[in-house]
Amino acid sequence: GQNIDQPTEMTATEGAIVQINCTYQTSGFNGLFWYQQHAGEAPTFLSYNVLDGLEEKGRFSSFLSRSKGYSYLLLKELQMKDSASYLCAVRDSWGKLQFGAGTQVVVTP
Amino acid sequence: DGGITQSPKYLFRKEGQNVTLSCEQNLNHDAMYWYRQDPGQGLRLIYYSQIVNDFQKGDIAEGYSVSREKKESFPLTVTSAQKNPTAFYLCASSIWGTVSNQPQHFGDGTRLSIL
């Protein structure tokens, strides 16, 4: 079966760092995507990992360990606008995305 | 500007009524998808299409129907058989395949409610 787990909510202070973990068990693996979604809006693409290791993109970094079925998204120098839901999605053997329920990040002043 | 356009933004359905959600893309993507999002839940795949005139059921296809007569368009009909249609519906498109690093691109969504 398919299972993608993320924490439901995380709270952090402006300027701090937050790490959002994602564990997965899926039918095949062909890459992992992270999306950001503000309430009532479309998800927007943040990062993609297919090989083990860290991908860095400005304030956002994403890490993947395929052997552990584990990824994390690291948000540095948090800003108020980073308050949003962060979705972990795994592309399966057939090319479809399986999404986690999302992690709501709340940034406080 | 390339992108995905969903309409309408808000839609209300009466009991026993079918409603159709529009999705148009000008990204020249072969693949298109429909997802449903409920509060506190992830996106669940309703239908997807890899190519014109072909589509497949996703995880929650019951009570829904689609067509793909043109590459640019992938309308979703929520039929009266869908007993709990209130949700946020998202359309997406992408290059089809398992090796591309190109993500799915999403429209702004349609929020469907029951009157």
Alpha carbons B89 and B47: distance in angstroms, whole number: 12
Contact between chains at A40 and B103 (C-beta distance less than 8 A)? no
User: Predicted confidence band at B13 (pLDDT cuts at 50, 70, 90)?
Assistant: confident
Does residue B37 register a pLDDT over 80? yes
Q: Does B38 touch chain A (CB under 8 A)?
A: no
Q: What is the mean pLDDT of chain A?
A: 94
Q: How far is B68 from chain A (nearest CA, A)?
A: 18
CB B97 within 8 A of CB B104: no
Does residue B16 register a pLDDT over 90? no
The dihedrals phi and psi of B12, each to the nearest 5 degrees, come to -120, 135
Chain A interface test: which of B54, B104, B105, B111 (most A C-beta within 10 Å) = B104
Alpha carbons A47 and A73: distance in angstroms, whole number: 9
Q: In this predicted structure, what is the pLDDT of residue B56?
A: 96
User: Who among B41, B103, B107 is closest to A45 (CB)?
Assistant: B103
Q: What is the mean pLDDT of chain B?
A: 93
| Terminal CA-CA length for chain A | 41
Does residue B98 register a pLDDT over 80? no
* A67-87 residue pLDDT tens: 999 999 999 999 999 999 999
Chain A interface test: which of B6, B44, B98, B113 (most A C-beta within 10 Å) = B98
Does residue B41 register a pLDDT over 90? no
Measured in whole angstroms, the distance separating CA A61 from the mean position of its chain's CA atoms is 10
| Residue ranges in chain A whose pLDDT is less than 70 | 1
User: Predicted confidence band at B1 (pLDDT cuts at 50, 70, 90)?
Assistant: low
Q: In this predicted structure, what is the pLDDT of residue B114?
A: 86
- Report residue A65 as tokens: 């360990």
A&B contacts, CB < 8 Å = 54
